[in-house]
Amino acid sequence: MAEIAIETRDLSLWYGTFQALFDVNIQVKQGMITSLIGPSGCGKSTLLRTVNRMNERLGYVRTAGEVDVMGENIFAEEVELARLRREVGMVFQRPNPLPLSIRDNVLFSHRIHRAADEKISRADEDALLEDALRQVLLWDHVKDRLNSRATQLSLEEQQKLCIARLLPVKPSVLLMDEPTSALDPKATEALEALIWGLRGTYTILIVTHNMAQARRASEECAFMLLGKMMEMSATEHLFLSPKLSETADYIEGRYG
Ligand SMILES: Nc1ncnc2c1ncn2[C@@H]1O[C@H](COP(=O)(O)OP(=O)(O)OP(=O)(O)O)[C@@H](O)[C@H]1O
Ligand SMILES: [Mg+2]
């Protein structure tokens, strides 16, 4: 197993003529939770969306440099986007469940991605469903209403479900872009506990504006500024003794 789950080498990205990332070099350790912090507009979401090649949906995006996920160059010609997106799941600010039942949400991606001729029994699907919902600590809350609409769940439950539905296709990396920003403090705490429990099994790269969250809920932390990767280290170390004055200014709330 690769010790580094995500590695970028001199990654630059342009939206048209606007350069949003400048020679970003980052190594994200396997099985760890790494937080990505920095002022609004510094390129956190852009970097995240590069790792599963989501930015390419925009015709005017150009990238240079290299990105490896689990030791594999994601820009290589033979890479299948569908397989990359299974390997690298993503969660967004606002929970976005499909207007389907809880059960169908969790099994959706697995049903789409498995080979047309692959036979899977109802019992196998039930097992995948239960396993995914247990991993996100939702099983006991929803096991008696698996056929009810996911959109009727609370925001906290919806966001947990959005994580659960990534799991049946066995991702190795989970990207989370401010996954608790739409939630109240109690729901945020519940999500943090759940994310903490997923470390080891998955490599998690999480964007947050919440310094307390970065400190509580990540093991490594990377600080970005104006499209550049400024500093990355163990979270406690970054917060207690940042190398750069820019990092200190940001984490102490002097700007951004
Ligand atoms: N689709 C796009 N087209 C053009 N420019 C974009 C696009 N998305 C982002 N940008 C620009 O790229 C820069 C980085 O944006 P990005 O969304 O990655 O920042 P961010 O760090 O995630 O900010 P925030 O904390 O506000 O979410 C910004 O200047 C932004 O305006
Ligand atoms: Mg963003």
pLDDT digits (tens, 9 = 90+) for 166-211: 999 999 999 999 999 999 999 999 999 999 999 999 999 999 999 9
Q: Is 20 in the pocket of ligand 1 (CB under 6 A)?
A: yes
Q: What's the 106 CA to ligand 2 centre distance in angstroms?
A: 26
Q: Is 45 in the pocket of ligand 1 (CB under 6 A)?
A: yes
CATH class, 4-96+171-251 region: alpha beta
Q: Is 40 in the pocket of ligand 1 (CB under 6 A)?
A: yes
In three-state form (DSSP H/G/I as H, E/B as E, the rest C), the secondary structure along 6-46 is EEEEEEEEEECCEEEEEEEEEEEECCCEEEEECCCCCCHHH
Q: What's the 21 CA to ligand 1 centre distance in angstroms?
A: 10
DSSP three-state, residue 33: strand
Q: Please check the confidence at residue 212 and state whether its pLDDT lies above 60.
A: yes
Q: How many CB atoms lie within 10 A of CB 175?
A: 27
Residues 222 and 247: their CA atoms lie apart, in Å, by: 10
Q: How confident is the model at residue 227 (pLDDT cuts 50, 70, 90)?
A: very high
Q: Could you tell me if 187 and 217 are in contact, meaning their C-beta atoms sit under 8 angstroms apart?
A: no
Ligand showing the shortest atom-to-Cα distance for residue 41? 1
Does pTM top 0.85 for this prediction? yes
Q: What's the 140 CA to ligand 2 centre distance in angstroms?
A: 33
Which among 244, 96, 108 has a CA at the least distance from the CA of 169?
A: 108
Report, as an integer, the average pLDDT of 217-231: 97
Q: How confident is the model at residue 114 (pLDDT cuts 50, 70, 90)?
A: confident
Residues 93 and 179: their CA atoms lie apart, in Å, by: 5
Q: Is 41 in the pocket of ligand 1 (CB under 6 A)?
A: yes
pLDDT at 253: 87
What dihedral do alpha carbons 46, 224, 253, 237 form, nearest 10°?
130
pLDDT digits (tens, 9 = 90+) for 42-86: 999 999 999 999 998 899 999 999 999 999 999 999 999 999 999
